[in-house]
Structure 1
Amino acid sequence: MLISMKIVIISSLFPPNSYGGAEQIACAEAEKLAREGNKVIVLTLKFDKGYACSTSDAKNLQIIEVSHKNIFNYYNIGKKSICLRFIWHIIDTFNFRLANDIAEILKRESPDIVTCHNIKGLSLLTPLKIKKLKIKNYAVVHDVSFYTPSGLIEWGKEKSWEHMGVLTRIYRFFTRRLMSYPEKIFFPSRWLLDFYYKNGFFINQEKLYKPNELGFVCENKSVDSGGKVANNFLYVGKIEHHKGILLLLDAFERLKPTNVTLDIIGNGVLMSEVKKHAQTNPNIKIHGQISREKLPEFYRNAKAVIVPSVVYENAPNVVYEALSCGVPVIVARIGGACEPIIEGKNGYIFNPGDVDDLVEKMKKYL
């Protein structure tokens, strides 16, 4: 197959050194473009431990890693203090050394298009450098991290100092301008597109809604290998406060099912607390982090997948993965996560943070 275009995909993290869904989307896009005959180069951060990034055996796909040139790697930001994260964000916003390194790579490779996914950790000056090189530049926005440094806005705390304080407002002043250079901006949810537009971002750029296509080829039924109707709820995601895992555990224990289990897949800082719940409730099953290849089996065997986030989500991959397997989703009415859900048809929507409402929605599958 003839190579039609040379495309650079910029993503601060890339499998196996990934943290969330944005990296999975970037990986899927890179592999798809390579299979279509394009020459694809992924530009990503070098992992501190020296593990090389890797992907499938797709032809025409090359990975170039760059050093972060900051006080620590973006991958480790969640483990650092507020003070260190503050310093890190200042450096990242104006990391001209790293932006120059990226510009030199782009000069050498001379791509037709550069698509930026998550550029946190790769200098917010990078889009400006791309524009100066006169290379066509697109961006895919995955979260609210251009609005607030943490990228997390908790329900009921939208007006907190973290998001409305002077330092955050200064941060937004610069991110609005530094992200004004890509020609097209793609959003996986309509909610995220509207959110940024209402807050003064990407005003003069072409804005396009492009839903996530990351899913599985599954049988559209929820049965186990023995042919019995599935008898468990499923949670897939980080074991952290903002994902609502504690809310889900509270709801499951209030539900008091005798013959239904809650399967939990993932890892995170709250794992020890989740294990305490599992020790007192044998119906809670912890599977830890598993490979993506094993997920379809869990989806097929679930009554429903529960996405109980307490922060504004964009378009969580777990929602689309579950629906692609024909499994209904119970999701919080917050952000764009609930956009694909038609209540009573492919799932239910509950009020964010409302454990009683979540219990009522779970009862519909008992």
Structure 2
Amino acid sequence: MYIRKILVAIALIGAVLGFIFVYYVYNAVFAPNTAFQNEEAYVFIPTDASFKEVSEQLNPLLDDKATFAKVAERKGYVNNIKAGRYAIKKGMNNNEIINSLRSRNLPIDISFNNQETLSKLAGRIAAQIEADSSSLLNSFTDEAFLKNSKFNKETALAMYIPNSYEFFWNTSADGFRDRMLKEYSRFWNETRLKRAEAIGLKPIEVIILASIVHKETAMVDERPRVAGVYMNRLKKNMLLQADPTVIFAIRKESGDWDKIIKRVLYKDLELDSPYNTYKYAGLPIGPIAMPDISAIDAVLNYEKNDYYYFVADVKNFGYHKFAKTLSQHNVNKQEYVKWLNSQAINR
């Protein structure tokens, strides 16, 4: 009888301990462990991050930091951390959080447009992925890569077609650059290549001209006409005489890419630069900006017209007045110069 009581007592104690153990395990592994009110929160885990670094990001998001650390250790996450962007949803338990951090790296949409230099592009991309601007710029200008991909430092900007792309946040600088080369090749599909051949330009020449068209007018519906003017000039072996190329040359020579130039002066036209289309015939040696796709397609499908000149239309801002003859152009230009003077725009 006495032994039976002892056995019953042991069984009861075991049951209680078992219940406590199960309760602890349940709370540690399966009970909700989030401390934020939004539907989800995101953590960005750097490459080669330690568990301590991960914990510092997670701690503000967790109710119970100690149980998370124990479960992470039991599941082997402590020594198997993966870089990336991960979502923690409200109400997740430790098990779900760790599973998310181990296998659900979420992509992000990266966008860029109208960057005038590789340096500015690097800064724009660095604000969106893990790679910093220095490593990106080094990757963009790597001589071996440029040679293998048939670009150079003057034409390299043409490889980056402005758009929105899906990337993982922890993409490396080289990974980003290599993907952009693939996107460039994809952009120049059979249709665009045939169109470029039909108008007598190589893809890189199309982008160089498109960069000028892009800078000349922000009006998408006017770009094919502007492109038509420049194509007419190229066919006649006339100087392009594009003000945006002079502005680019001035900025490049000064190193001040943020310099604001609203008016090109006669003295500027004498600047000795391969980008100065008032001084050198044909296209510049590289793009003067990153043209929109609309500008590229405007060149590929330029308007066939008889215009050789154009100047800003002061009565319809944003658009231009086009002329077939120099005499008519001079009349239009005089109106524009008069307006500049009235606004005291001297530079």
TM-score between the two structures when normalised by the length of structure 2: 0.27
Which is higher, the Rg of structure 1 or of structure 2?
A: 2
Bigger fraction of residues in strand: 1
TM-score between the two structures when normalised by the length of structure 1: 0.26
Bigger fraction of residues in helix: 2
